[in-house]
Amino acid sequence: MKEIKPAVIKKYIAEAIANEKAGIKIKPEKKPLPAIPAEYNAAFKKDKALKDAFSKLTPGKQREYLEHVLEAKTEETRVKRVEKAIPNIKAGIGLNEKYR
């Protein structure tokens, strides 16, 4: 609490108010979805329902699944991650969702 300085907080609040009055809007940068890995393309070719279910997911959920597979270092791990994700994708559940 000793590190929090009221003068600094007031300065930030005043800046936010001035920005709002001036109509300044901050738009977050949108990143495009990563390219679909070969492991997902192979799974989509085998199972059209999987491809349809994946396309119905929100872009954020799609990104989670794609990045999860792309982060794997070996092809074996990427294949396992895709196989593990298939039931959740078909259920419309995101990678990090515990309950739906």
What token pair was written down for 65? 């699944």
Alpha-carbon distance 36 to 27, whole Å?
26
Per-residue tens of pLDDT for the chain, all 100 residues = 678 888 999 999 999 999 999 999 888 888 899 999 999 999 999 999 999 999 999 999 999 999 999 999 999 999 999 999 999 999 999 998 876 5
Distance CA(79)–CA(70), nearest Å, equals 11
DSSP state of 79: H
| Structure confidence at residue 28 (pLDDT) | 85
pLDDT for position 2: 73
- What pLDDT was estimated at residue 27? 85
> What pLDDT, on a 0 to 100 scale, did the predictor assign at position 25?
86
Q: Are the beta carbons of 69 and 40 closer than 8 angstroms?
A: yes
Per DSSP, the three-state class of 81 is: helix
Tokens of 98: 């515990």
**Residues sharing a CB contact under 8 Å with residue 76, sequence separation 6 or more, in sequence order:** none
CA distances from 57 to 14, 17, 61, 79 (A): 40, 37, 6, 20
